[in-house]
Structure 1
Amino acid sequence: MEQLGGYRLVALLGEGGMGRVHLGRAASGRLVAVKTVHEHLAADPRFRERFRREAAAARSVAGPFTAAVLDADPAAVRPWLATEFCTGPTLTGAVSALGPLASGELAALGAALAEAIAAVHAAGLVHRDLKPSNIVVTRDGPMVIDFGIARTSAEESLTDSGEIVGSPGFIAPELLTGAGEPGPAVDVFALGSLLAYAATGRPPFGTGAVHQVLYRTMHGSADLDGLEEIPGAREGSTGWRDLLGSCLSQEPGDRPTVTEVLTACAAWTEGDPWWEREAVAGLIRRREDEVAALVANAPETTAAGPTEPAGPRNRADPRNPPVESADEQGGDSADEQGGESRTPDTTVVSHSPGTTAAPGAGADTVASRGTSRRRFLRWGGAALAGGSAIGGVAWLTSLTGRDGEDDGPKSPPSYTLGRALWTRDIGEATPVRHGDALYLTGADGLIRLDARTGTVGWTYPVEDITDIVPGRELVQVLRVTDLLSSEIVALDAATGVEKWGTGDLRHNPRRPLELRRPDAAADGDSAAFSVSADLVCLVTYTSYATQWARRTGGNRPWRAYGFDPRTGDPLWFHQGGEAEVVGLHQAGGRIAVASARDSFADGTEEGEPLAVLRVADGTLEREIPGGSRYVEAHPGSRGVRCYATGGRLRSVDLATRRTRWSRALSEEETDAGITPTAVAGLVHTATYDTLKALDAETGRTRWSLKDIGSPTDRGSPVVSGGLVYGPGRAPEGEETTDGRPTWGVHARNAATGALVWAAETGDVESVVVGAGGEGATGSGLVHVSADGTLSTYAAPEPI
């Protein structure tokens, strides 16, 4: 195995225009990222001097949220730099996978990053390339990486004339004009842009060609639509919009200091840090598993770390803790790796000792080769970072994944058999989970249950409830009666008491006077609604499900009503065209209304127009021809989403509406559902009896399994905590079936398909995995509706 500067190079992680990045291991066993410079650049004395100065300056940065530069040799034949190895997704990957951050989460991120920037500035440096891909979210918090272009003012003479340093959309205007010496304010600008991206899911200066983004940075204004106001913010301030708007000021002197940003963010934090919450922690664990597997499979090395020498912990380097024994760590003992369960509500079922583990079955398999996952990560410490100044680091999934079809594992070595904590007859009621509460909507009205115990909290005994949106303080309830009357009622989440209601829409003061007359045309017989922090939108329409419904409905237009989510006060009214509404979506200060004039045209490619309204006043911003097929793809929306429509699976960039990949569905897959967003680089599709994992970037099949499918026709698989859930056959039963599996529910490793957990429930109608909301104590539960009975289980350990 190749050695460089005392580091064994375990694997090549990535290569770019300036060099390569390797996963390395020190003699002590510590993992590092070793960055090497290309030979043609190393031959340039000026480049070597710049490399030497930057490495020396970066080694002086010391902060809890910065990746440390550990060692460097600019004089080597192949100059190299060793940095702390940070495990986790980049901020780009986390936001793409989980969506924009809520206010309290954003504040925690902002405070950590401001502290990191303060550490950079304290060393006399300016980072100058702060961006989402240079932030790695680890279990210890967000880590700022890549000091390859950070400089002191004394080093500016070594910068090529006319060179623009930074990334479009995050570069301060003064770096583009070269006006004056770049100071700490350029990092404040980048921080403001980065936090705006994390809060909205879109860059504040848009996307597109580089010159267009740079032009908007210089001459346009930042897109801050959708930012939350902060209750209790200083007088005259609206919170995030004011803070980030000032960070993005054209003039450096108009921006706040890093300390001021840190103070504001620290005051707005709520609850546990964002990176400690389950959704983010699951992504981090996935990256940790990949690093452990990569090292375990590396040639001429082993996953086992060296024995920790006796003596006290080196307090000078808190990021490199010693290995602890299994007992000191709480134990990676046998019962955590397939032995007897420690909890009374689960049973681990083991196959014969001779059973071979499925390929890539996860961290426990890696651990058996020489060290436990936890021991490995305690020793290896930190991890996989995104792009760097001397070459982007590729995700380990792309390095270790396989193209082409994989039949997936058939006989996992062990799985956990779930036992119900409680059950309840619910008939045809629909369960919805939020925080510690489980809501049932059915013929008896709305019932709130304690998710952990099944105890009834309150009942709202009304008929005609068609949809609910639960929140931390209010539960929004939509009712549509047989009298062409639709209304929203807001209930107190704790007590079930009505707080406000929209009332009879015919008397809505925002409707035009001609529509408030007694003889005015009524609203349609159906309704949909959406809820955000800024708006509750109710849309009424005529159902076009059948020709009879269309004729008797009189081809009524759809109508949209906006209400204040806190008080229910009417805000605006908008009347659309004569069509059925088939989708509603709010994002980025807009609300998209997808319509269809003929439900039988679902197989066509063009679809109906998508109307995009402004959340602020309900005015029509634009109409996208043929856009109704992808209701989430509209101005203000960002990210990537997958669809199963028109006989194809598609991955669509929501900002550009561009199809990233598309694949035809076979005749057996016509009822397929697909997870809308990627988790750990994969999306999953399910039919009545088949589950597949697809590469999110290419659409290629990674693995495919029979005997596990979708809870409902065209339903999407349920993915949570690195596991994918669906109805399956008895684990010891036959491998294939001619019909939909009806034994119970399976939880499979989302990355490999290996069986992790199973419960016998009967014919599964729905699966709800309770990750819990902010402050929830009833997380870690699986609620399965089957044959009219709701059963609740302790969820398997996330992967």
Structure 2
Amino acid sequence: MDGGERVAEFRLVALLGEGGMGRVHLARTASGRLAAVKTVHEHLAAEPQFRERFRRETLAARAVAGPFTAAVLDADPDAVRPWLATEFCAGPTLAEAADALGPLGAGPPAALGAALAEALASIHRAGLVHRDLKPSNVVLTRGGPKVLDFGIARRAADETLTATGEVIGSPGFIAPELLTADVEPSPAADVFALAALLARLTTGRAPFGSGPAHQVLYRTVRGEADLDGAPTPQWRAFLASCLAADPAARPTVAEVLRWCSERFPAEGAWWEREPAAGLIRRHEERVAALVEAMPTTGLPRPATPTAGPSRPAPPTTEAPRTAEAARPATPTAEATRPAEAPPTAEATPQTATRTATAPQAPLPYDGLPRRGPARRRLLAFGGAVLVAGAGVAGATLLGLTEKDDPTGPAAAPPPKTRRPRGRLLWTRATGEPGHTAAVLRHASALLVADAAAVTALDAATGAVRWRYPARQVTAVEPRGDLVFVLRSGLLFTPELIALDSRTGNRRWKAVPVRPIRAAGSTAPDGQSGYLAVDGALAVLVSYASDASQWAKRSLGDRPWRAYGFDSRTGKALWFHEGTRAAVTGVHAAGGRLAVALAPPTRSGAPAEKPLFVLRTSGAGPEPEPEIPGGGPYPQAHPGSRGTRYYATGGRIVALDLATRRSAWRRTLDGAPAVTPTAAGGLVHAATPGRVEALDARSGRTRWSRTDVGRLSGGDGDGPSPVAAGVLYATGPEPGPGAKAGEGAVWGVHALDAVRGRPLWSAPVEATGPISAAAGDGLLHVYAGGTVQTFTGPDAS
């Protein structure tokens, strides 16, 4: 590997990523240790004020030492191109772990809180305040969490180089005193951020909500933290004290460390056990495979030499600072899955051209062997992570090509991708800006259920066919000439409404009313509900939600109940009362009603998720044997037939519904959504930064793309729409180096569902979350209260 470019003792191996501040290179020391070397863009290095900021960042990072902070190996802020070298930390960010694993119980956050409090203590001992602690700035490694990014850390007593009144931090994690008063950041601000981080991981949502930054900041200053769903009342009280508006009322870092340490789980740290340990292990194996594929002779020419003249770097768009955008998402198979066939040029359209033009370069990551070197070999290299801890936003792994070879001629930039542009057919404002909506196709109509009404539009023209005013709609189910609408919420018990699909006129309305002589509890029904339809039977299931501590206190010991109605007339047919349990899903088919339950458990106890089955085809409802552990798969019961595909915690499962046996299992990076049924022999899985097609029989990857990501179907939580052999996705504008991910949405893309080849693309005007539905060659996108409908360029 002689002859490559160097930064001091670090030999640059590959360009990992680039942001607005500089570039991050994978590098190696003389001893073979891997490191991340950040070099500053030339135009920024020429600015004295920025160079001083970089010097401050370097001093801040080098002053911190501790087991839970990323170590600085070396730096030179006075070089022609200032640079900073840090260790790599193998593992996902906490943001990625939260997406993949879901909310934590009572034990894991204690271990995590103790480790992060210790990290903050080491930062504060150096006279610094981090000021931007958040899930994406913490990497979860086998040795525990590692706090990254001291780029904005500063000494509490120093004069800053920021403008007067400038606020540095991230909405949802920045302390309110930094927003409302001209005060110096103190360690109490980091305590606030730590509590917001723990609240996000334990409840599954940010304590001050989501949405536009100004709204989150307003709630931070004026509102009260939403801690519903905290693992225990003690955790809720502790987090509330750390999130107090008055910094003097918050506990100190030492008190946080003591409180969390006293609750450290007896079974050990959360990251040492599955499934977190498996998530870390998969990251390690990907990095080990990357190292294994590095060239053994010659080195790529770095884009930013440390001295001498150089061509200006081409303009780039700063990538989003998320772990999902910062790493290649490559699936790892379960041991029971058949071995994958190697990708072909046709199966991997994103990499075929690059591989063909650069035969001497290492294969793109999708072409690496699935079984890389063991983790012990990775650790011998010194460890590596695909998220740099040096403060450069959005480090994106890039494959090496001919132009990176210092011995060969510089390659001409690849031609811009020419992709047919889809046509915007019509737009229609249907809802309130800023709200989400469920959209679905029914015959030639598009149904839109937003915060105020259920609206039927003509799918081809956008004309309003009918509008039924209804708030708190939680489910819409069209069947034949009826559209069933379920309303439920905290203000009233659920109600089921049947509308005429042609006119929107109400056919009938039903509410939970138990028969006078029915045995069972006298407690009222819960305010949450589910809807299921099976031919002539419509079922309403009511239950008391366990979504928050407030709900538990206010709703009490209420059982779940099921009410059967004649789907044509609304006549009450039968009633069944269950036990005290939350309901997570229902399904009706083949004369059975399956109810997925989540019974209450003691804090720390394993959650039981049975599937209750009720035979409904006889004279009255008759319970059948309960299916232990069947709650996550409510469609898998004796009345169902066929195969259905589920995504849970990053795992795709192909399940035979009648036998409840899995045909295959796959583990994919991130938290993908998957199409529930196969089309053309394929199922499609998608995350914000990746779309791939899996063989419906074996689970093998047929094709995969990273320039497009998930376009949520239905209510915004469903899989990407697939219709008539076309899969619809979202992502950045087509072009060289286009990478999908959070924040990289330019528009929508239509792909050949079988081959993954792009068909057309179109920009979308969207200021928030979008949901979509497809049919008859049309794609309907709901965003910000407006429906936009697209069609292909050749469609009439």
Name the TM-score, length of structure 1 as normaliser.
0.49
Bigger relative contact order, structure 1 or 2, given CA contacts below 8 A and separation 6+? Answer: 2
Name the TM-score, length of structure 2 as normaliser.
0.49
